Structure 1
Amino acid sequence: MNTKQLKRKREHREMKEELKDRSVVVQDSKRKKQSLILSHLNEVPDELFYMEIFSYLEFESLAKCAMVCKKWFNASAQTATSLYHDTITGMVKNTNYYCVLVASVCRHFTNIQELSLHDCGFINIFNEQENAYIETVMGNLNNIRKLEIHGLRITDFACREFSRTPKPFLQELKLDHCMISDYGFSNLARNNTLSNVYSLSVTASAIELDSCKELSNLTNLKILDLSHNCISSEGAKYLSSCLQNMEYLDLSFNNIEEGFESLCSQKNTSMRKLIIVGNNIPGSACKNIGNFESITHLDMTGNPLGYEGASFISKGLKEIRTLKIADAKINSSAMIYLSEGIMNNLSELSLEGNFFGDEGCVVFQSPMFSNLKKLKLNRNCITCFGCENLACDTLKSLQELNLSFNRIKTRGINFLSEGKFENLEVLNLTSNFLPTIAIPLFKKPVFSKLKVLLLMGNRFSTCSSSSSLKDIFPQLQLTDC
């Protein structure tokens, strides 16, 4: 190694050490600045924060400020107590700090009328500190009118704390994804705590028989959502007692089965919307559904209704406007029963995944379907012959038609183009074995009002199909392969 190389190496080492020393100096100065700022912040009087700064912040921003230092937390708590004594709404981004601030407000001011807490993440059932804050909050809501908690665990103790005193002003209660046990909710519903509630939602918890017994006494309920619980057929029998004023009911995924018959056993003229998806309800259990004579929206997707269920529904619900019975074992015979009903106001019908084939499409020539605006027939093994039956005068009011995942091919498009779809705006033909030669058929006048055309999963030549469709529909929102 010559002298020049040694000199260069030494200079490089010296430069490295100098840079290292400079970085240390910079870091030290940053630390000094931060400590100086914090010391200055701690010296600023609380009144200044309260009067000049924090009073302009929303509750969510106050919760962030509370994380800075103890002084700021005290100032945030004072401001929140003063400004948010009526309503607290926000997302819990840092759960502990947010909850402790809410708990502080609730502890000092028990007149809160509206409280909404929404967690952004997953529930940590082992977070005892968070649970304690929620318990404090629940125990200090004596004058609450509207309470919404989403994604924060509510323990049995928190439920007992909430029901310790009557809640005469409580009207709306929403406790979704809070992992409430059956024991906890049955305690919460006691002592007339929910006697004036008209809107109740407790989803994704463990509501069972005991809770249903308590709910049977709540005759003022108009809106009830107990989806994703464990009600079962026994619990459904008790719930039938609180449905007399009910307008909206969602009991999806509760394994109700034959209990649906008991649920519909009493006359009800106020029910408008019933959602009871995925409950393994057989068609025979629908024989009392006519007691809900005012229903305009019914969703029984994922229940094995068969021809019996189709018959009871179509003959018992004359006011129905929206009917969703997808994946419900509605075969071609059941479709005949469906068309023999009195549903003359029907405007939306969903029949996905019933596999009734072309024979099931014959019934759409019935006058009962003359007011249909939306029709979903995806996954039903429909071929071109089914399209021939759909191209009838009865469906001329149709605005949306979904025929995805069938086998209509080019001939099916040809039949549809001869139909009377004067108002058709949305057409879904995803995965229907359509070749590129079918594209010119969309020039027919019947498709002139289309705004959305879905053509994914077909056998088009991408470049030619895209350019051709854009030429035919320059204004159209379309998706091809």
Structure 2
Amino acid sequence: MISHKGKSIKLILIVLLYVFVSGDAEVRCIESEREALLSFKNGLIDEYDVLSSWQSKECCKWHGVECSSTTGHVTTLQLSGLDHDGVLKGDVRSSLLELHHLNRLDLSLNDFGGIPIPEFIGSMKQLQHLSLSGSKFAGSIPPQLGNLTNLHSLDLSYNSLSSTSLSILAPVFESLEILDLSYNQLNGCIPDPSAFSSLKELHLLKNNFTGSIPSSIGQLSELQVLDLSYNSLEGLVSESHFSKLDKLKTLDLSFNALILDTAPDWSPPFQLESISLGGCDVGPYFPKWIQTQRNLYSLDLRRANITDEAPRWLWSTLSLLTNLDLSDNRISGAIPNLSSTSIRYMVLSNNQFSGPIPLFSTVASDIQLSGNMLSGSILSICKTSNEHLRTLVLSNNQLSGEVPNCWENTPNLQSLDLLTTVFRVKFLALWAT
């Protein structure tokens, strides 16, 4: 027979178990971490009262603060400008070092007025995710960030960082999955990427990197996104640069002095969704390997030195294609009926396309065909209704005839460029009515 005392103990245990399972047990903020957060707040200029909730005793309920449900330690400080109205200014105080269990720090999209990235952040070795993107940091990347050997993602994009060799980050390369240094003024060569064994995304666009792309980048078997666009890179890009990139989805090498050097029968290991090689030397022939890419929705080959006839497979096999830019080449041939395609944005300007204006997709919104040798009338634009079409550029072709009165088929058309006096006058008259 269970005694009255034994029943009481059993009842208490049941209640405690219920509270634990139901999640009603309230996690309490650790006082030393609360004080560290308040010290950090005191270094900030909070003109928009972003941190107005940072007053109560329970810091785990403050805006941008997350705590462990079991220990109460602060694990996340999420103060991105995306998450609140207004920006934070001021200084980033070293009291954050007291948050020994912090693994995610996001101060992106704030305004720190051109101060350097604080060196003490390199001592927060438990960090797994660090984002300082778009917060107006300047100067060099502190070498102390190389101590963050547990980092999975590092985002320093959209700042004014300069004159830094990426070799200072070498110790963190092995753990990194995402590295975004885009939109800065970084220079020097791209380091040997073979150390990035876990890297899934590499964003280095809009910097001043020089030299060639190391062929060892082709060994990054986990890589899904490679964006090196708008730098000063040069040299050959061969099949070895892609040898093990079977998971690659996005490739952007545009506007570098790069020469694509692949065999005509090359079959790449990847299935890309987006290809951007504008401004690179891809020609003179249209790259045949692109026809193997069955998941492609965006293709940018503008200014790619292509002097060739557009292959038939371009229009027939790339069924998912929504964005196509082949402008500023010397591509010839006729443009087929595109009414059954998914193309929304198509720029074929300044080429040698000939024949009549094709039928467009009913989802097309921006069509630019200027500077070609298209001929005949523009009556084809009347044959389908398109409420999405906003821009239609047909200037500098060999078109003739009158502008038809069928604009009710394109009720959202905002810009029609024919650059022909007869067309322009008649169009304006119709528009006025």
> TM-score, normalized by length of structure 2?
0.65
Asked whether the equivalents of residues 327 and 348 of structure 2 are also in contact (C-alpha less than 8 Å), the reply is yes
Asked whether the equivalents of residues 357 and 378 of structure 2 are also in contact (C-alpha less than 8 Å), the reply is no
Query: What does the per-residue CA deviation read over 1:98-122, in whole Å, with 9 as the maximum and x for residues that have no partner?
Result: xxxxxxxxxxx99473142559999
What is the distance in 2 between the residues matched to 1:402 and 1:475? 20
Of 140, 152, 174, which residue of structure 1 is paired with 2:112?
Answer: 152
Number of the residue aligned with 2:336: 391
Seen in structure 2, the aligned counterparts of structure 1 residues 110 and 372 have a Cα distance that, compared at 3 Å, is: closer
What is the distance in 2 between the residues matched to 1:479 and 1:319? 36
Residue 381 (structure 1) shift: 4.7
> Is 1:353 paired with 2:290?
no
Unmatched runs of 5 consecutive residues or more in structure 2 = 1-44, 66-71, 418-433
Residue 148 (structure 1) shift: 2.0
- Structure with the larger helix share: 1
Of 269, 290, 298, which residue of structure 1 is paired with 2:251?
Answer: 298
Asked whether the equivalents of residues 327 and 351 of structure 2 are also in contact (C-alpha less than 8 Å), the reply is no
Number of the residue aligned with 1:5: none
Unmatched runs of 5 consecutive residues or more in structure 1 = 1-61, 67-75, 91-108, 124-129
Of 204, 209, 223, which residue of structure 2 is paired with 1:251?
Answer: 204
Aligned residue type for 1:304: A
What is the distance in 1 between the residues matched to 2:315 and 2:406? 34
Residue 430 (structure 1) shift: 5.9
Aligned residue type for 2:325: K
Residue 201 (structure 1) shift: 0.7
What is the distance in 2 between the residues matched to 1:197 and 1:225? 13
Number of the residue aligned with 1:480: 416
Number of the residue aligned with 2:188: 232
Residue 307 (structure 1) shift: 4.4
Seen in structure 2, the aligned counterparts of structure 1 residues 364 and 282 have a Cα distance that, compared at 3 Å, is: farther
> Relative to structure 2, which stretch is displaced further, 429-438 or 342-351?
429-438
> Is 1:114 paired with 2:104?
no
Q: How many residue pairs end up in the alignment? A: 356
Number of the residue aligned with 1:56: none
Number of the residue aligned with 1:452: 389
Asked whether the equivalents of residues 115 and 148 of structure 1 are also in contact (C-alpha less than 8 Å), the reply is yes
Query: What does the per-residue CA deviation read over 1:155-175, in whole Å, with 9 as the maximum and x for residues that have no partner?
Result: 56x6233334x4425434334
Aligned residue type for 2:153: S
SS in 2 for 1:315: coil
Number of the residue aligned with 2:55: 80
> TM-score, normalized by length of structure 1?
0.60
What is the distance in 2 between the residues matched to 1:381 and 1:80? 65
Residue 277 (structure 1) shift: 0.2
What percent identity do the matched residue pairs reach? Answer: 14
Aligned residue type for 1:406: N
Aligned residue type for 2:389: V
What is the distance in 1 between the residues matched to 2:373 and 2:95? 60
Bigger radius of gyration, 1 or 2? 1
What is the distance in 1 between the residues matched to 2:281 and 2:300? 13
Aligned residue type for 1:198: H
What is the distance in 2 between the residues matched to 1:366 and 1:64? 54
> Is 1:332 paired with 2:332?
no
- Runs (4+) of structure 1 exceeding 6 A deviation are 119-123, 433-437
> Is 1:406 paired with 2:350?
yes
> Is 1:372 paired with 2:328?
no
Seen in structure 2, the aligned counterparts of structure 1 residues 113 and 398 have a Cα distance that, compared at 3 Å, is: closer
> Is 1:199 paired with 2:138?
no
Q: How does 1:102-181 map to 2 (within 5 A)?
A: 111=74, 113-116=76-79, 118=81, 133-136=91-94, 139=97, 141-144=99-102, 145-150=104-109, 151-153=111-113, 155=115, 159-164=118-123, 166-168=124-126, 170-181=128-139
Of 271, 289, 292, which residue of structure 1 is paired with 2:223?
Answer: 271
Asked whether the equivalents of residues 205 and 230 of structure 2 are also in contact (C-alpha less than 8 Å), the reply is yes
Seen in structure 2, the aligned counterparts of structure 1 residues 366 and 469 have a Cα distance that, compared at 3 Å, is: closer
Asked whether the equivalents of residues 230 and 254 of structure 2 are also in contact (C-alpha less than 8 Å), the reply is yes
Asked whether the equivalents of residues 452 and 476 of structure 1 are also in contact (C-alpha less than 8 Å), the reply is yes
Aligned residue type for 2:242: I
Residue 186 (structure 1) shift: 0.9
SS in 2 for 1:149: coil
Number of the residue aligned with 1:97: none
What is the distance in 2 between the residues matched to 1:455 and 1:313? 37
Seen in structure 2, the aligned counterparts of structure 1 residues 82 and 405 have a Cα distance that, compared at 3 Å, is: farther
What is the distance in 2 between the residues matched to 1:367 and 1:437? 24
What is the distance in 2 between the residues matched to 1:345 and 1:84? 47
Query: What does the per-residue CA deviation read over 1:53-96, in whole Å, with 9 as the maximum and x for residues that have no partner?
Result: xxxxxxxxx94487xxxxxxxxx879536465565459xxxxxx
What is the distance in 2 between the residues matched to 1:347 and 1:77? 45
Query: What does the per-residue CA deviation read over 1:375-397, in whole Å, with 9 as the maximum and x for residues that have no partner?
Result: 22233355xx53x1x3179x953
Seen in structure 2, the aligned counterparts of structure 1 residues 88 and 431 have a Cα distance that, compared at 3 Å, is: farther
